[in-house]
Amino acid sequence: MQENFSLKPYNTFGVDAKAKYFVEINSVDELRETLKLSNTQSLPLLFIGGGSNILLTKDFDGIAVKLNLKGISEKILNENEVLITAKAGENWHELVVFCLDKNYGGLENLSLIPGNVGTSPMQNIGAYGTEIKDVFVECKVLNRETVEKERFDLEKCRFGYRDSIFKQEGKGKYVILEVTFKLTTHNHTVKTEYGAIQTELNHLGIQNPTIQDVSRAVINIRQSKLPDPKQIGNAGSFFKNPTIPLAQFKKLQEKFNNIPGYPSGDLVKVPAGWLIEQCGWKGKQIGNAASHKLQALVIVNTTGNATGQEIFDFSTEIINSVHEKFGIELEREVNII
Query: So which residues are the catalytic ones?
Result: 162, 237, 333
Amino acid at 144: R
Q: Are 241 and 331 a contacting pair, CB within 8 Å?
A: no
Q: Which amino acid would we find at residue 304?
A: G
Query: Distance from CA of residue 330 to its chain's centroid?
Result: 17
Within its chain, how far is the Cα of 121 from the centroid? Answer: 9
SS3 169: coil
Task: Judge whether 65 and 45 are in contact, CB under 8 Å.
Answer: yes
Q: How far apart, in whole angstroms, are the C-alpha atoms of residue 202 and residue 206? A: 6
Nearest to 209 by CA among 135, 94, 108: 108
> What DSSP designation does 98 have?
H
- Give the integer Cα–Cα distance in Å for 31 and 47: 11
Collapsing DSSP to helix, strand or coil, 200 comes out as helix
What are the two backbone dihedrals, phi and then psi, of residue 233, each rounded to the nearest 5 degrees?
Answer: -60, 130
DSSP 8-state secondary structure symbol assigned to residue 105: B
Q: Pairing between strand 60-67 and 45-48?
A: parallel
Q: By C-alpha distance, which of 135, 126, 119 is closest to 178?
A: 119
